[in-house]
């Protein structure tokens, strides 16, 4: 492919601003903190930042409940800080996208306040406000954060829909004014120089006429009654095409554009503005085929989708304290990547702010041994950064971040976690059993502050959420200084990708997939061929013969036996 779009060859890096770096000592990460650490990200070599929400919010769901889309959350800074951050990224050859949460708004958003003040007025149609009686909600849908998805508003004697927290009110996308409002928000931010958005639960936005009940069995299976009625709703494609057409096509010259980053990592002149801001869809429940319908090239809908199937071994959820089956990850990629045509493209992610760390899921507690932690951190980075697709790193992965040894619910901050704990107790589960489930799956594992220095370095105050990891050698300062660290491995791999398009735009060919514990493939483009080999087991692994001379690039020579969790990258001559 002569010139694939920039986001097919980019490495994305998700910043969770609340926990990245706090510059003013209030214990909450802020935009100035990100600006102060841009060189860490530029040195790592990532191409595009994705910031979890920074808009004004009461933080019932840590910014995923927006009160004003054109104002910055007070704890995080100001619009001037955003402008400085955008310029700082572009100057370093990086793009930046924000997190657009428009399946719902905060109940404190002006639109919702106006809707409640006049439910039969224009803003009443922005939300699902259903007349009824307090004893019977309109249907059997459940919220993802425990309890019914309906909230009774006595002052107007109506039920209001909230798929998430009671303060996250679902928008009615079938109301044209809502679609126009969202398109205007997108265009407003693109004019400021943003390069696109990650779109929060964007596949939920088209609810079916009549809001029918969910199938009780499916609800029990999926743990969320009703989800099958709206997770790929009747007008989803239409709404996405409209949002792209009316919002994401750049309408004026942005304040700045990213400088071109050359194959050797040096910086060139600013690029011309992208025709369209990138659209990355967070699409829980969307599998391979539906994902292709939403994101195949030429669809004019989304550019990339997150496929959640990678996160949990089949038959398990993040709550049941299982340890991930690495053979499943191999089957996932074998299956998924073998189903994609050139028109399709995979977003490759293992971690985000909603899930425990894949390193801990893989290592199953053995990561308390720093050598295992380092090996598994490098192994996952190798797969993620050489797999055919666009890698999305989550902050901390470059430091081999792990799950936390939280000791009780008082340490939790996540609304999903706290609601689930309360509902487990209400169901009569013992406190110890309920806590074990929460400890296994809480989103707070991934939300603890970045470790910049051996003694922390995130804040000079009390962090809003305290991490428990004190292991020596895994702060950014220590990792960046160690050529054999997980950080250096990420940086070296990203440099290798940038210098060799076989590793980004190239094809993929699996090597001896039948060999248990051995995950290996070639990446190739023209005469360039690379061999990636991984031992996805905690035991030594005998490497099969390989026809061709392999020049070692990362992880050392092609020994006959691979150490536990070892990964190697070589050029095939
Ligand atoms: O996440 C939606 C989502 O898929 C997860 O919340 C998942 O449904 C939930 O954890 C149940 O397993 C997005 C954001 O990433 C998340 O942080 C927000 O809480 C949520 O939407 C609501 O905005």
What is the CB neighbour count within 10 angstroms for residue 91?
Answer: 15
pLDDT per position as a tens digit, 24-63: 999 999 999 999 999 999 999 999 999 999 999 999 999 9
- The fold of the 506-572 domain, in CATH, is Immunoglobulin-like (2.60.40)
Q: Tell me the CA–centroid distance for residue 355 and ligand 1, in Å.
A: 10
Q: Shortest CA distance to 252 belongs to which of 167, 168, 166, 194?
A: 194
Q: Shortest CA distance to 119 belongs to which of 160, 163, 156?
A: 156
State if residue 201 touches ligand 1 by the CB under 6 angstroms criterion: yes
- The confidence score (pLDDT) of residue 322 equals 86
Q: What is the 3-state secondary structure (H, E, C) of 175-195?
A: CHHHHHHHHHHHHHHHHCCCC
pLDDT per position as a tens digit, 130-151: 999 999 999 999 999 999 999 9
**Strand bridging mode 168-170 / 104-106:** antiparallel
- Spatial contact of 261 and 267, defined as CB atoms under 8 Å apart: yes
| Percent of the chain residues past pLDDT 90, beyond the cut | 94
- The fold of the 110-170 domain, in CATH, is Oligo-1,6-glucosidase; domain 2 (3.90.400)
pLDDT per position as a tens digit, 102-115: 999 999 999 999 99
- Spatial contact of 104 and 112, defined as CB atoms under 8 Å apart: no
Tokens coding 110: 């002006």
- The confidence score (pLDDT) of residue 2 equals 56
- The confidence score (pLDDT) of residue 142 equals 97
| pLDDT for 407 beyond 70 | yes
Ligand 1 closest atom vs CA 353: 17
pLDDT per position as a tens digit, 342-358: 888 999 999 999 999 99
What is the CB neighbour count within 10 angstroms for residue 202?
Answer: 28
Best mutation site among 61, 284, 392, 446 for ligand 1, i.e. most ligand atoms within 8 A of its Cβ?
Answer: 284
For the residues 431-438, what does the mean pLDDT come to?
Answer: 98
State if residue 56 touches ligand 1 by the CB under 6 angstroms criterion: no
| Percent of the chain residues past pLDDT 70, beyond the cut | 100
- The confidence score (pLDDT) of residue 404 equals 98
- The confidence score (pLDDT) of residue 254 equals 87
- By annotation, the residues acting in catalysis are 200, 282
| pLDDT for 299 beyond 90 | no
For the chain, give the number of residues.
573
Q: Tell me the CA–centroid distance for residue 419 and ligand 1, in Å.
A: 14
Q: Shortest CA distance to 496 belongs to which of 568, 435, 548, 427?
A: 568
Ligand 1 closest atom vs CA 308: 4
Q: Where do the structural domains in the chain lie, given as residue ranges? A: 110-170, 506-572
205: left (phi over 0), alpha (psi -120 to 50) or beta: alpha
The pTM is what?
Answer: 0.98
- What values do phi and psi take at 169, rounded to 5? -90, 120
* Distance, CA of 283 to CA of 127 (rounded, Å): 21
| pLDDT for 164 beyond 80 | yes
* Distance, CA of 30 to CA of 36 (rounded, Å): 10
- The confidence score (pLDDT) of residue 323 equals 86
Best mutation site among 199, 280, 349, 354 for ligand 1, i.e. most ligand atoms within 8 A of its Cβ?
Answer: 354
- Spatial contact of 369 and 402, defined as CB atoms under 8 Å apart: no
**Strand bridging mode 267-270 / 507-510:** unpaired
**Strand bridging mode 55-56 / 68-72:** antiparallel
ipTM of the shown complex = 0.96
């Amino acid at each position: 492919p002569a010139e694939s779009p920039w986001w097919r060859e980019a490495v994305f890096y998700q910043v969770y601003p609340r926990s990245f770096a706090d510059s003013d000592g209030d214990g909450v990460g802020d935009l100035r903190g990100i600006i102060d650490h841009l060189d860490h990200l530029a040195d790592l070599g990532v191409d595009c930042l994705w910031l979890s929400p920074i808009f004004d919010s009461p933080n019932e769901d840590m910014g995923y409940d927006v009160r004003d889309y054109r104002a910055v959350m007070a704890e995080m800074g100001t619009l001037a800080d955003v402008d400085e951050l955008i310029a700082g990224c572009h100057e370093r050859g990086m793009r930046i996208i924000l997190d657009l949460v428009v399946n719902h708004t905060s109940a404190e958003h002006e639109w919702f306040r106006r809707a409640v003040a006049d439910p039969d007025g224009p803003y009443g149609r922005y939300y699902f406000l259903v007349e009824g009686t307090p004893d019977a909600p309109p249907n059997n849908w459940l919220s993802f954060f425990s309890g019914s998805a309906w909230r009774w508003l006595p002052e107007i004697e109506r039920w209001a829909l909230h798929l998430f927290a009671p303060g996250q009110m679902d928008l009615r996308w079938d109301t044209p004014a809502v679609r126009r409002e969202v398109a205007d928000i997108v265009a407003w931010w693109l004019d400021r120089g943003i390069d696109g958005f990650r779109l929060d639960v964007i596949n939920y936005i088209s609810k079916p006429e009549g809001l029918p009940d969910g199938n009780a069995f499916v609800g029990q299976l999926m743990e969320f009654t009703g989800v099958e009625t709206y997770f790929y709703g009747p007008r989803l494609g239409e709404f996405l095409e409209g949002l792209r057409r009316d919002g994401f096509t750049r309408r004026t010259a942005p304040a700045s554009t990213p400088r071109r980053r050359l194959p050797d990592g040096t910086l060139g002149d600013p690029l011309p503005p992208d025709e369209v801001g990138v659209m990355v869809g967070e699409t829980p429940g969307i599998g391979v085929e539906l994902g292709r319908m939403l994101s195949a090239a030429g669809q004019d809908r989304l550019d990339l989708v997150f496929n959640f199937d990678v996160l949990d071994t089949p038959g398990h959820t993040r709550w049941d304290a299982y340890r991930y089956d690495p053979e499943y990850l191999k089957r996932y990629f074998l299956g998924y990547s073998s189903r994609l045509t050139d028109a399709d493209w995979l977003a490759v992610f293992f971690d985000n702010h909603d899930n425990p760390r894949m390193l801990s899921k893989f290592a199953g507690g053995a990561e308390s041994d720093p050598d295992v932690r380092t090996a598994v951190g490098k192994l996952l980075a190798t797969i993620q950064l050489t797999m055919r697709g666009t890698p999305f790193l989550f902050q901390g992965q470059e430091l081999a971040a792990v799950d936390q040894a939280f000791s009780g619910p008082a340490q939790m901050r996540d609304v999903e976690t706290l609601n689930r704990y309360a509902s487990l107790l209400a169901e009569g589960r013992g406190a110890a059993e309920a806590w074990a489930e929460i400890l296994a799956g809480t989103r707070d594992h991934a939300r603890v502050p970045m470790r910049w220095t051996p003694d922390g370095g995130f804040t000079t105050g009390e962090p809003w959420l305290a991490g428990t990891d004190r292991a020596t050698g895994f702060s950014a300062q220590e990792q960046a200084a160690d050529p054999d660290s997980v950080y250096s491995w990420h940086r070296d791999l990203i440099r290798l990708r940038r210098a060799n398009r076989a590793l980004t735009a190239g094809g993929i060919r699996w090597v001896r997939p039948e060999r248990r514990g051995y995950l290996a493939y070639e990446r190739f483009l023209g005469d360039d061929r690379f061999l990636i080999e991984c031992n996805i087991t905690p035991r030594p692994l005998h490497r099969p013969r390989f026809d061709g001379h392999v020049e070692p690039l990362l992880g050392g020579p092609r020994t006959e036996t691979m150490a536990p969790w070892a990964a190697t990258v070589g050029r095939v001559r």
